[in-house]
Structure 1
Amino acid sequence: MSVTVAIETPLQDDVRELVALLNAHLLPLSPVEFQFKMTVEQMAGSDTIVFVARDEDRKAVGCGALKLHGGTLGEVKRMYTLPAVRGQKVGTALLDAITELAKQKKLDRLVLETGMGDGFGDAWRLYERSGFTRCGAVLDYPDSGFSAFYEKRLAVAAH
């Protein structure tokens, strides 16, 4: 399957639907107080850039976001692909686009928080294949045992 990944507003019905599906997917996997979700309205803020993957028919099949934390730190947020397209490298395409923009913005480190447990194995494999490594708690997330943390150091080319 061929997908295109582009920066888009999350304030579209099909992107809202993806985020709702992500939230529903996450709900049974860990206690709600340890789920650090952004609403689509928060995702539309000036500190967050949202990427949407679309198939040949322009259907939204995945999303992810880069949240800027000032300085040279960025955070990967709201990564999700429809179950029907999993295993077809849509998540990789989204993560590659996020990483490339982070490099363009001269960020030197990307971090992310994801869940622990059986339901997160595919996400861990995606992050690890994309060069992320496990690390300790990041930003202001609690080290609760319900979260796994990853980081990726970015080589920023000198000009």
Structure 2
Amino acid sequence: MNDIRVVPGNPREPQATRLLQASHALMQSLFSSEDNHFLSIDELCVESVRFFVAKDGDTTLGCAALANKGDYAEIKSMFVDPNARGRGIAHQLMQHLERDARTQDLSVLKLETGDTLTQAHSLYYAHGFKDCAPFGDYEESPASLFMAKTLD
């Protein structure tokens, strides 16, 4: 039975910070600094970004953020504790982000992810994302994959 719940979170809360630091360390181990586009903890604490955590009881097992870019929302900081993977937590976070984007009247979700993060690609494709061109301030890079989804 899955008792995971997705709730608003605070990137500065110790369990969330631990997950974000683990995510940042992983990205830094896989990609060059020019190809890392994660938001710092401070950048996740601005009004235009909504940050969510997936909790099992009092334990934070995953996190994700939705940055309101005006005419679209960008998914940032999607990460699930490696020890909690396989429980559907990332899918729950994705569903929550999509619902939240709709409540903000945003009709398009976009994201940038690393070219070698095949599990992430599978997740995003399963949720209806399609490859797209770079957007916002991103530049074309062989290390990046850009995706978008139009919300009904």
TM-score by length of 1: 0.92
Question: 1:28 and 1:16 mapped to 2: Cα distance?
Answer: 18
Counterpart code for 2:140: D
Give percent identity, aligned residues only: 28
| Off by >6 Å, runs of 4+ in structure 1 | none
Residues 75-102 of structure 1: CA distance to partner in whole angstroms, max 9, x if unpaired?
Answer: 0000000111112110010111010010
Q: Could you say which residue in structure 1 is the equivalent of 2:24? A: 23
1:1-159 aligned within 5 A: 1-56=2-57, 58-70=58-70, 72-117=71-116, 120-155=117-152
Residues 1-20 of structure 1: CA distance to partner in whole angstroms, max 9, x if unpaired?
Answer: 42110012212111111100
Q: What SS class does the counterpart of residue 29 from structure 2 fall into?
A: coil
Counterpart code for 1:133: K
Gaps of 5+ in 1: none
Residues 55-86 of structure 1: CA distance to partner in whole angstroms, max 9, x if unpaired?
Answer: 13x1110000000011x310000000011111
Counterpart code for 1:54: K
Counterpart code for 2:77: R
Q: What SS class does the counterpart of residue 30 from structure 2 fall into?
A: coil
Question: 1:86 and 1:121 mapped to 2: Cα distance?
Answer: 14
Q: CA RMSD in A?
A: 0.9
Question: 1:81 and 1:146 mapped to 2: Cα distance?
Answer: 21
Question: 1:98 and 1:137 mapped to 2: Cα distance?
Answer: 21
Residues 97-132 of structure 1: CA distance to partner in whole angstroms, max 9, x if unpaired?
Answer: 010010111111010000012xx0100001011111
Gaps of 5+ in 2: none
TM-score by length of 2: 0.96
